[in-house]
Copies of this chain bind each other. A is one copy, B any other.
């Protein structure tokens, strides 16, 4: 079936992008606008194709979600990548946490995790051990969670005179935000005018 190949391609794309979250057969079927059986055939086709020696991936099903993963036989190479201290992948988590703490301090671990969407205990520990982040008091309320903030070492490391020197984060959304606000203002003024005229 010609369509089968197209669908398998779509499914592989989707699994790739979905990463560790994986996708259920139902989600795949909705995303590809195909029926469930076709999706399952596509999954089987991808899995089959992955068995070739020249491939590095496989399809795994965990708790009802399908995801792509590396083949066990390539674990050594993958481990070398993940353990390589110069690898960007290693610093990503710490940098994310550091950015969040820098811009939102004082902030609790739970708040950091809410923003990142993943557990962040270890990156925080690393940052504290490195002296880039320190405890900066306790949050109000039950639990009195630890609040984290950046240190002078942080400023020094990144060559900042003070926290005021942190570049603005917002930039990226400015243009869209402006547009949205404009739209909003337009519809709002209309509403306002209507309301006003009723009086």
On A, residues with C-beta under 8 Å from B are 4-6, 8-19, 21, 23, 30-32, 45-46, 49, 52-57, 68, 70-71, 73-74, 77-78, 80-82, 84, 87-92, 94, 125-126, 128-130, 167-176
For A23, A32, A74, the residue with the greatest tally of chain B CB atoms inside 10 Å of its CB is A74
Identify 8 new A-B residue pairs, CB closer than 8 A, beyond the known A9-B73, A14-B56: A12-B54, A13-B71, A17-B81, A31-B77, A31-B80, A45-B54, A129-B168, A130-B171
CB distance from A69 to the nearest CB of B (A): 8
CB distance from A158 to the nearest CB of B (A): 14
Q: Please state if B172 and A10 are interface contacts (CB–CB under 8 Å).
A: no
Given known pairs A21-B88, A54-B45, the reply for A10 and B171 (CB within 8 Å) is no
Q: A81 to chain B: which residues have CB within 8 Å?
A: 14, 17-18, 23, 31
Q: A23 to chain B: which residues have CB within 8 Å?
A: 81
Q: A90 to chain B: which residues have CB within 8 Å?
A: 175
Q: Please state if A9 and B128 are interface contacts (CB–CB under 8 Å).
A: no
Other-chain contact of A171, B13, B78, B128 (Cβ < 8 Å):
B128
Complex Cα distance A10/B71, Å?
A: 9
Complex Cα distance A49/B50, Å?
A: 11
For A12, A21, A77, A173, the residue with the greatest tally of chain B CB atoms inside 10 Å of its CB is A77
Other-chain contact of A70, B13, B54, B126, B173 (Cβ < 8 Å):
B13
| Nearest neighbor of A74 in chain B, beta-carbon distance | B13
Q: A94 to chain B: which residues have CB within 8 Å?
A: 175
Complex Cα distance A132/B20, Å?
A: 26
Q: A167 to chain B: which residues have CB within 8 Å?
A: 128-129
CB distance from A36 to the nearest CB of B (A): 16
